[in-house]
Amino acid sequence: MKEKEGFVDCPEQQMILYVEKEDGQFGPMQTGSFITKNYIDDYFDKRNNLVTSLRDQINRDEISPVKFFMILEDLTLKELSARTRIPMRNIKKHLLPPHFVKLSEELLQRYATVFNITAEQLKKAIPTTELLNDEPAKL
Amino acid sequence: MTPIHYNHKMGAHCESGTVTSLLNHAGLTISEPMVFGIASGIFFGYFHKHKSFTFPTFIVRSRPGDIRKNIQKRLGVKFQTFSFKKEQDGIEKLNELLSQGIPVASQVDFYYMDYVPSWERAHINVHFMVVIGKEGSAYIVSDSYFPKPERVNEESLRRGRFAGGNMSPKGFLFYPKYVPSEVDLRKPILKGIDKACFNMLKLPVPFIGIKGIRLFAKRVVDWPKFARDSEHLSHEVMKINILLEDQGTGGAGFRFMYATFLQQASEIVNNPELKELSTELMTIGDGWREISLFAARIGKNRDLGAGKMKELSDLIMDRAEVEEKFFKKLKKSIK
């Protein structure tokens, strides 16, 4: 990869790319992320569609907010269990609304900590991204 | 607490960048590609099903922690390491080291780092950065993915350091305790290349090395079966671009950085063949870059029918063929 071919103007996400310089030497160049520069809108569109679809499922009582965040944060049952220290068989129940509403504050907090949100955000299924408001278009 | 005077520098990859900057801080002049190459960082592994991943995925670098371990073994550096059963012990040790003016590398789950924009966040328990100070309730960190030192809230750092799950950090910290003032790089370079060739060509595991690239090529056509819907499939296919380019690889799944290592190595060991091979690997990397761009394009256009997935598979299979030839030549070149 030649130096001039590798440069991407994307101040929102900088990175190091190794390139061939003009003198034939290979070395590092600070540049921007190609995918963030060109396709970040697509990422947010898909993310927003996923949030809407999962919220619809919550409203239809098909899934609980635990499942909502588990999917959004790309965690498997095994990972969520290891991170919350809640047995997998219990988590399977907490993915369903009737069991979720009976969760103690202590268990809600354990999930919230792993999802990096507050217990209130968990109950209302509000991802932190909605509070951060940091889409590049809004920066 | 006064921040430690630390020369922050961006790096291509978090572990090799962290190890390099700590060695530089301790007085050893060495480049990131040299650290990566000596530590046999180049790799490939494909995971079609794994209990910790929600979707098939691949890795392009050696096991996290191996860069530090191999550098210790091959350069004679001694790293002091700590991991903790109790969180409080881990917090106190970090504060104690900082108060002694020691910059210390920390392993964290990337997801909890406040300074990372939302779209870059992912639960990855094997992110490394250097903690260089504390001001009030925030730690100052030198993270090689970012252009300047960043601040992370102490609660966020605690969550990141003590996240559970696959490859849980357990508060892991390290810093170089002994760094030789001069190192003869010739033997470590040859050892690093030899081990990298073994990993890519001979490791008897069906999903690792060249066999892993072939498996990836064969199985990627099955990815639609794992997806919830077309947008999910698009997201996962576009992640090929992120894994090869954006997740700290220096471009083309570390191939560009390894080519740089080979070019630097050719002069040190006085082997012109390595220089020719470095140019060849740069070209091979361009092929991986083509895969990245192709994956991003078909993902964006939702053009993910059987024909396009087969095209993607063919591009990946082609990389397996050229890399097999390349690593055989590389192995021969150091004999």
Extract the tokens encoding B6.
């630390």
The CATH number for B36's domain is 3.90.70.10
Task: From residue B304, give the alpha-carbon distance in Å to each of A34, A36, A115, B296.
Answer: 21, 21, 31, 11
Q: Which residues pair with B150 in a beta bridge?
A: B141
**Residue range A59-77: mean pLDDT, rounded:** 97
- Model pLDDT, residue A82: 97
- Model pLDDT, residue A133: 57
Q: Which residues pair with B130 in a beta bridge?
A: B105, B142
**Residue range A4-33: mean pLDDT, rounded:** 96
Is residue B249 predicted with pLDDT exceeding 50? Answer: yes
Backbone angles phi, psi at A133, to 5 degrees: 55, 45
Residue of chain A nearest B283, judged by CA positions: A1
Rounded-to-integer distance, Cα B219 and Cα A108, Å: 39
Closest CA to B163 of A25, A50, A85, A40: A85
Q: Are residues B68 and B119 in the same domain?
A: yes
Residue B195 lies in a domain: no
Domain hosting B326: range is 210-333
Residue B188 lies in a domain: no
Residues of B in contact with A132 (CB under 8 A): 118
> What residue segments make up the domains of chain A, in order of their start?
3-32, 40-126
Task: From residue A21, give the alpha-carbon distance in Å to each of A4, A29, B48, B217.
Answer: 9, 9, 38, 32
Contact B221, B316 (CB under 8 A): no
Is residue A139 predicted with pLDDT exceeding 50? Answer: no
List CB contacts of B221: < 8 A, sequence separation 6 or more.
B306, B309, B310, B313
Q: Are residues B174 and B282 in the same domain?
A: no
Residues of B in contact with A20 (CB under 8 A): 282
Contact B263 A40 (CB under 8 A): no
Query: What would the pLDDT profile of B87-143 be if each residue is shown by its tens digit?
Result: 999 999 999 999 999 999 999 999 999 999 999 999 999 999 999 999 999 999 999
Is residue A137 predicted with pLDDT exceeding 80? Answer: no
Q: Does the structural domain A40-126 have CATH classification 1.10.8? A: no
Is residue B181 predicted with pLDDT exceeding 90? Answer: no
Residue of chain A nearest B11, judged by CA positions: A16
Q: Are residues B164 and B31 in the same domain?
A: yes
Helix (H) or strand (E) holding B93: helix B87-99
Boundary residue ending a domain (B154, B178, B202): B178
Contact B61, B13 (CB under 8 A): yes
Contact B30, B84 (CB under 8 A): no
Output A139 or B157, whichever has higher pLDDT.
B157
Rounded-to-integer distance, Cα A113 and Cα A26, Å: 44
B187: distance to nearest CA of chain A, Å? 22
The terminus-to-terminus CA distance of chain B in angstroms comes to: 52
Extract the tokens encoding B307.
């024909």
Backbone angles phi, psi at B166, to 5 degrees: -60, 130
Q: Are residues B250 and B300 in the same domain?
A: yes
Residue A15: which pLDDT band, with cuts at 50, 70 and 90?
very high
Q: Are residues B169 and B77 in the same domain?
A: yes
A63: distance to nearest CA of chain B, Å? 15
The one-character DSSP state at B220 is: G
Question: What is the CB-side half-sphere exposure of residue A96 using CA atoms within 13 A?
Answer: 6
Residues of A in contact with B286 (CB under 8 A): 1
Contact A18 B12 (CB under 8 A): yes
Backbone angles phi, psi at B153, to 5 degrees: -60, 145
Query: What would the pLDDT profile of B1-45 be if each residue is shown by its tens digit?
Result: 667 899 999 999 999 999 999 999 999 999 999 999 999 999 999
Query: What would the pLDDT profile of B291-331 be if each residue is shown by its tens digit?
Result: 999 999 999 999 999 999 999 999 999 999 999 999 999 99
Rounded-to-integer distance, Cα B135 and Cα B142, Å: 14
Is residue A96 predicted with pLDDT exceeding 80? Answer: yes
Residue B220: which pLDDT band, with cuts at 50, 70 and 90?
very high
- Model pLDDT, residue A138: 43
By CB atoms closer than 10 A (0-12, 13-18, 19+), residue A6 is middle
Query: What would the pLDDT profile of A25-34 be if each residue is shown by its tens digit?
Result: 999 999 999 9
What's the domain count of chain B? 2
Residue B227 lies in a domain: yes
Residue B4 lies in a domain: no
Q: Are residues B110 and B153 in the same domain?
A: yes
A and B: number of Cβ contacts within 8 A: 132
Q: Are residues B132 and B264 in the same domain?
A: no
- Model pLDDT, residue A135: 58
A98: distance to nearest CA of chain B, Å? 24
Three-state SS letters, A65-132: HHHHHHHHCCCCHHHHHHHHCCCHHHHHHHCCHHHHCCCCHHHHHHHHHHHCCCHHHHHHCCCHHHHH
Closest CA to B189 of B97, B105, B80, B75: B75
Residue A128: which pLDDT band, with cuts at 50, 70 and 90?
confident
Rounded-to-integer distance, Cα B77 and Cα B178, Å: 6
Rounded-to-integer distance, Cα A103 and Cα A83, Å: 17
Rounded-to-integer distance, Cα A100 and Cα B115, Å: 32
- Model pLDDT, residue B182: 86
Closest CA to B223 of B310, B288, B321: B310
| Amino acid at position B127, single letter | H
B280: distance to nearest CA of chain A, Å? 11
**Residue range B260-266: mean pLDDT, rounded:** 98
Q: Are residues B318 and B228 in the same domain?
A: yes
Q: The complex's ipTM?
A: 0.96
**Which DSSP string corresponds to B16-49?**
HHHHHHHHHHTT----HHHHHHHTT-EEEEEESS
Residue count (chain B): 335
Boundary residue ending a domain (B135, B158, B178): B178
Rounded-to-integer distance, Cα B243 and Cα B12, Å: 13
Contact A18, B263 (CB under 8 A): no
Q: Are residues B156 and B40 in the same domain?
A: yes
Residues of A in contact with B288 (CB under 8 A): none
Q: Are residues B152 and B84 in the same domain?
A: yes
Rounded-to-integer distance, Cα B80 and Cα A41, Å: 44
Rounded-to-integer distance, Cα B198 and Cα B330, Å: 11
Three-state SS letters, A41-65: HHHHHHHHHHHHHHHHHHHCCCCCH
Residue B190 lies in a domain: no
Closest CA to B104 of B73, B74, B81: B81
**Residue range A85-105: mean pLDDT, rounded:** 98
Residues of B in contact with A12 (CB under 8 A): 117
